[in-house]
Structure 1
Amino acid sequence: MLQSLLLPFKEIGFSGFLDIIFMTLLIYTLLVWSKRTRAAFVLTGILIVAGVYLLARQFSLNLTAAIFEQFFAVILIALVVIFQGELRYFFERIAVWSLNRRILRKEMVRLTREEVEILVRTLTDLARDRTGALVVIRGSDMMVRHLEGGQECGGRLSEALLKSLFDSHSIGHDGAVVVKENLISKFSVQLPLSKNMKKLGNRGTRHAAALGLTELCDALCVVVSEERGTISITRNGEFTEIDKPEQLAQILEEFYRDINPKNDPKEWERPFQKNWRDKLIALSLSVALWFVLVNGSKTAYRTLSIPIEYSDLPAGLEVDAVLPQNVDVTFRGVRRSFYFIRQNQIEISVPLKPEKGPQRVRLGLGQMSFPKNLVLETIEPNLVEIVVGEAEKETPKPDN
């Protein structure tokens, strides 16, 4: 039994294995992209519509399939228009991922404990004084196209410089400060605002800007609320409220470890330690698609036992015997043609002459009905004999 279960996987081969790995990476990227761009519901809806279309094709619902084909032509254009920004981001990630990582690995400088303490101490003081602030710490992604305006700074990260930039009398205090490595690269920067009102709740514009940026890239944003005097962290489109300075320091250190890991001989294990659910979904979908589209396109043969049916006879005649009652019919087609095939889709109907006696009929395409995507190979046996006799007359029941 185990061998029969493993048999389909033996057909994958080396090229099929590479095919599945590549599709797994692509599907996993799509899943992550859909979550970060709030396109998950749209993607789910498209998959449901695609499933209905496949079922319509399988069960020969020609009108439904034709309408869905026209629908897909329109929806493709609509999706490009609606998600043009997200699609541009997706293709940018694919194009520059390798180059981006190599450049950033060379450029990134890990913040020292002293510089982390500067950020924690400054932001804690600003929260205590109820001075609003928004600090963006660059991650591994390129985020230039998401930033608008701002002034170049290039000053070394320090408590005095941060407090002066967020002073209420400063002309740029309402914008964001961008920290790159151990420098303040820009200030008074405008960020894209999030439209996710469920996560924002009653938070203000700074929180909307922080959430909006972290929905589009892997930067980390620290927000100080001037109304409540609290500190919040946004990363990967999620809020984390900070209760104490030690928690903020820990999150900052973990962030820098994630985007700029040390050379570790076990670094290859890192991709297998996170997002297990999405990765398993991507792998399962890739394997299923390979079996349906690739393995399912290979030629296969299948033999079915089909009962002999016959046409109606006039009154007074009936069929006494059918020899044989079933025949073995072998079909050829691509493997996926047999996935949903049902025996009642195949019929053999023999026309009978209205006369008594044995009638021999050689079976062929003329007596058969089967799905168009199958090819008839053989019928064994291809000669049947049907014996027609006189129907028994019913004896009338006596009247009481």
Structure 2
Amino acid sequence: MDAIREWVSLLAEIGFSGLFDILLVTLMIYAFLAALKRTRRSGLIFTGILIVGAIYLIARKLNLLLTVSLLQGFFAVFLVALVIIFQEDLRYFFERVALWWFERRLPLYERKSARFLRREVEILARTLSDLAREKIGALVVIRGKDSIARHLDGGEEVRGLLSEPLLKSIFDPHSIGHDGAVVVGGNLIDKLGVHLPLSTNLEKLPGSGTRHAAALGLSERSDALCLVVSEERGTLSVARHGDIRMVSTPAEVAEVLEAFYDEISPPSEKSSWKRFVVKNYREKLISFFLAVVLWIVLGYGAQIVNRTFEVPVHYGPLPSSLTVARIDPPKVLVTLSGPRRAFALFKPGDIKLSLQLWDARKGQHDFFIPSGALSYPGGLQLEDINPRKVALDIEDKIPEPKSYP
């Protein structure tokens, strides 16, 4: 019951605005994590940052001063490092936000992504399989939801209807556009002879050529589907989400194409609440957890609060002939103020109260407690000491009996 009351009290403190704030930040973090999911390298870097953050919190809890100091220096340059490390992913994220905003302004009938008819899927699968059998190099890019214009270099506008003769004529070894990529949008060939950014992930490109590096490079930067034919080995490969694999039959190529369009433009009957909850559920849970942590640390944790602690009264050295017989009261109430997060790892034992009695004299005395007699962690401010005076009985020290051998 006590735990339930604490949760109800916490929800009351959060309020509607706090819940809305958490949900909004969750949405932004999820969009960023979805962007990071495109490349394994970025995901590993982000995981490493989370591990460093967890180490920092543990170090603060265990009072590891050197480790905390070093990590605080790391976090001082964290934002700059974040922009440098994730510059491509941040650009992708803001690009997706802009595309989403512009799409919301379009009429409903214009919002759906173009889908292949079965005829176009068969054309691509059959044509690319024929090119692979004849060992004619080819690279076909099929647009997804992301804008890929900034990744494309050069090329010629075509805007021609997708067909087997047109594709084979483009990739003919004597054709001008043979060495570049063909960009397909809907049932049209948009451009030919396009150059794509090359991947530097050599582990996934053992013995592969420039076409494979270009296909993998674009797949690392967008959600486009890239199909590449090797003229040396006569193999057909597909690249998506920073990964590349071989496919062996036209039926397998058709299956890849149909799955691709089911993903970027799913049929309406599949758009259910269950699909919404299950898809990327790990990223959603991580986003919500991080949003709550950030709200506690930066929002809820930044609120200024007062906390009162019961602190024992201690005293420093006295003249050698005197001793303290009584302190009244033996404890005082100390009120400190500061952000909530400053109290998160706070222990009452961190507050020390010590009176300086080096010039004390025998008798009953009322000592005023100065603010300087208190020591407490940084980031906090002293608000009150109650009572401000304590009574001390100082007597002569009883000499210890001498011991004789």
Output the TM-score relative to the length of structure 1: 0.86
Maintained 8 Å contact 1:100/1:141? no
Query: Is 1:139 the counterpart of 2:133 in the alignment?
Result: no
Instruction: Measure, in 1, the Cα distance between the counterparts of 2:295 and 2:364.
Output: 51
Q: Deviations over 1:192-231 (max 9, x none)?
A: 1111222223322111101111111111011122222222
Partner of 1:276: 281
Cα deviation, 1:236-286, whole Å, max 9, x if unaligned, reads 112232243332222211111222223348445544322222221111111
Q: CA deviation digits over 1:312-343, x for unaligned, max 9? A: 01222222232332222222333222112233
1:95 aligns with 2:98: yes
Equivalent residue number for residue 212 of structure 2: 207
Matches of 2:86 and 2:382 in 1, distance apart? 47
Say if 1:310 and 1:351, in contact at 8 Å, map to a contact too: yes
Aligned position for 1:390? 396
Question: What is the SS of the residue equivalent to 2:338?
Answer: strand
**Taking structure 1 as reference, are residues 369 and 77 closer, same or farther at Cα in structure 2, changes over 3 Å only?**
closer
Which sections of structure 1, spanning at least 5 residues, go unmatched?
none
Supply the distance in 1 between the matched residues of 2:208 and 2:322 (Cα, whole angstroms).
87
Q: Is the 8 A contact 1:234 1:240 kept in 2?
A: yes
Paired positions, count: 399
Does 2:25 align with 1:20?
A: no
Q: Residue 118 of structure 2: which of 113, 116, 121 is its match? A: 113
- What is the distance in 1 between the residues matched to 2:142 and 2:219? 10
Change (3 A) 1:141 1:196: same
Counterparts in 2 of 1:82 and 1:356: CA distance versus 1, 3 Å? closer
Q: CA contact under 8 A between 1:101 and 1:140: conserved in structure 2?
A: no
Equivalent in the alignment of 1:348: 353
Q: Which piece of structure 1 moves more, 133-142 or 313-322?
A: 313-322
- Partners of 1:346 and 1:368 within 8 A in 2: yes
Distance 1:80 1:382, change over 3 A: closer
2:395, 2:194 → 1: CA distance? 96
Per mean C-alpha deviation after superposition, the further-off stretch among 113-122 and 242-251 is 242-251
Instruction: Give the distance between the partners of 2:320 and 2:206, measured in 1 at CA.
Output: 80
Q: Is the 8 A contact 2:32 2:90 kept in 1?
A: no
The equivalent residue for 1:236 is 241
Seen in structure 2, the aligned counterparts of structure 1 residues 380 and 69 have a Cα distance that, compared at 3 Å, is closer
Residues 1-400 of structure 1 aligned to structure 2 (within 5 Å): 1-36=3-38, 38-40=41-43, 43=46, 86-100=89-103, 105-106=110-111, 108-264=113-269, 266-267=271-272, 269-352=274-357, 353-371=359-377, 373-399=379-405
Identity of aligned residues (%): 49
Indicate conservation of the 8 Å contact 2:127/2:167, yes or no: yes
Kept after mapping to 1: 8 A contact 2:22/2:291: yes
Residues 103 and 111 in structure 2, CA contact (< 8 A), matched pair in contact too = no
Aligned partners of 2:215 and 2:227 also within 8 Å: yes
Greater CA deviation, 341-350 or 34-43?
34-43
For residues 353 and 82 of structure 2, the distance between their equivalents in structure 1, rounded to whole angstroms, comes to 47
Amino acid corresponding to residue 267 of structure 2 in structure 1: K
Q: Alpha-carbon deviation of 1:234?
A: 1.0
Segments of 5+ residues of structure 2 without an aligned counterpart are none
What is the identity, as a one-letter code, of the residue corresponding to 1:94? V
What is the rounded CA distance, in whole Å, between the counterparts of 1:190 and 1:98 in structure 2?
29
Give the partner amino acid of 1:222: L
Q: CA deviation at 1:298?
A: 2.5
Quote the Cα distance in structure 1 between the aligned partners of 2:138 and 2:54. Answer: 48
Partner of 2:140, secondary structure, is strand
3-state DSSP of counterpart to 2:313? strand
Within 1, Cα distance between the matches of 2:214 and 2:315?
Answer: 75
SS in 1 for 2:268: coil
The answer as to whether partners of 1:137 and 1:178 remain within 8 angstroms in 2 is yes
State the shift of 1:391 in Å.
2.5
Distance in 2 of aligned mates of 1:366 and 1:126? 85
Deviation by residue 1:62-96 (Cα, 9 ceiling, x = unmatched): 99999999987877567656765554433222222
Please give the secondary structure, in 1, of the residue aligned with 2:317.
coil
- Which residue identity is paired with 1:146? H
C-alpha RMSD of the superposition: 3.5
Shift of 1:355: 2.5
Contact 2:224 2:240 in 1 (8 A): yes
Cα distance in 2, alignment partners of residues 126 and 372 from structure 1: 71
- In the TM superposition, residue 182 of structure 1 has moved relative to its aligned partner by 1.0
Residues 105 and 260, structure 1, Cα contact 8 Å, conserved in 2: no
Question: What CA distance in whole angstroms lies between the structure 1 residues aligned with 2:344 and 2:95?
Answer: 39
Q: Distance in 1 between matches of 2:377 and 2:168?
A: 76
